């Protein structure tokens, strides 16, 4: 056990050092805090830094984190996801989004009452005609992405990246996009039918791509928006998405 009474940190006994090594070797998925907690349950109080010093170090280099993967492949990565929209007649419409990570662009969307794997695969073909397919496609584990969908994706040379179960944060780009669509558009509109929903979303995406600024894009829009120099004249407000939003421009007097 650790010696007590001396100045500075107590000395760690060889017995405790050996126990730390034994725990870390036998439980490869345990981090240092977990070992600290387990030791405390044995009446052994050591610091996290002590465990990190004496634990068995993995010989394999650590794998890149999920965030690092997204950052490293941002130019080659698109995300897809569904969200549902109820209509005034209590029908449920399914909207598929295909989002390019690099500039947060919605490269394709479509609406259906009955999504299938075949329909979903066809949407990816329409989103990326000819040789424009991305290298990676990020999706969740929804059953809609069945064998027919997977065959379509594979035939296009796209590698699927599948998020962990119940981990929407791993598909955060498209999840945030869906949240923006709801907060900035659909929460303020009663949808009549699928054609009405398509018109609404087309209008919103035109605003989103051309005028809406993004913190992650350095306060630019997905389709880069030039900075207007201040001039003699006035700032004029232009309505977007049925006056739910507006953009502003200098207009000469």
CATH topology of domain 67-217: Nucleotidyltransferase; domain 5 (3.30.420)
Given the DSSP bridges, would you call strands 92-100 and 159-162 parallel, antiparallel or unpaired?
A: unpaired
pLDDT at 5: 52
Q: Which pair of structure tokens corresponds to residue 70?
A: 């997204």
Contact 80, 99 (CB under 8 A): yes
How many Å apart are CA 28 and CA 250, to the nearest integer?
Answer: 61
Residue boundaries of the structural domains of the chain? 14-54, 67-217
> Rounded to the nearest 5°, which phi and psi values hold at 211?
-125, -30
Q: How confident is the model at residue 215 (pLDDT cuts 50, 70, 90)?
A: confident
Neighbours of 124 (CB within 10 A): 21
How many Å apart are CA 112 and CA 95, to the nearest integer?
Answer: 7
Mean pLDDT of 209-237: 86
Higher pLDDT, 109 or 4: 109
* pLDDT above 90: percentage of residues in the chain: 52
pLDDT in tens, 69-85: 777 888 899 999 999 99
Mean pLDDT of 99-121: 96
Task: Report the range of poorest mean pLDDT among 25-34, 75-84, 150-159, 215-224.
Answer: 25-34
Neighbours of 154 (CB within 10 A): 11
Task: Report the range of poorest mean pLDDT among 172-176, 203-207, 214-218.
Answer: 214-218
Cα 75–79–85 angle (5° rounding)? 145
Residues in CB range of 160: below 8 A, 6 or more apart: 136, 137, 139, 150, 153
């Amino acid at each position: 056990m650790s010696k007590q009474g001396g100045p500075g940190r107590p000395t760690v006994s060889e017995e405790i050092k050996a126990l730390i090594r034994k725990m870390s070797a036998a439980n490869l998925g345990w981090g240092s805090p977990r070992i600290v907690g387990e030791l405390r349950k044995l009446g052994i109080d050591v610091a996290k830094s002590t465990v990190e010093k004496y634990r068995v170090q993995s010989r394999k280099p650590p794998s890149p984190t999920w965030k690092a993967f997204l950052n490293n492949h941002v130019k080659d990565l698109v995300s897809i996801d569904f969200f549902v929209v109820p209509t005034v007649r209590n029908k449920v419409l399914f909207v598929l989004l295909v989002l390019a990570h690099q500039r947060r662009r919605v490269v394709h969307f479509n609406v259906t009452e009955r999504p299938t794997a075949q329909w979903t695969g066809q949407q990816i073909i329409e989103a990326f005609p000819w040789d424009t397919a991305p290298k990676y496609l990020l999706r969740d584990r929804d059953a809609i992405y069945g064998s027919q969908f997977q065959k379509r994706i594979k035939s296009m040379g796209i590698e699927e990246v599948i998020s962990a179960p119940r981990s929407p944060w791993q598909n955060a780009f498209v999840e945030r996009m869906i949240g923006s669509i709801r907060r900035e558009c659909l929460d303020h509109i009663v949808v009549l039918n699928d054609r009405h929903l398509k018109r609404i979303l087309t209008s919103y995406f035109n605003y989103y791509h051309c005028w809406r600024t993004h913190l992650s894009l350095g306060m630019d829009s997905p389709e880069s928006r030039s900075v207007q120099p201040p001039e003699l004249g006035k700032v004029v407000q232009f309505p977007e998405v049925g006056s739910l939003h507006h953009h502003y421009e200098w207009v000469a007097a």
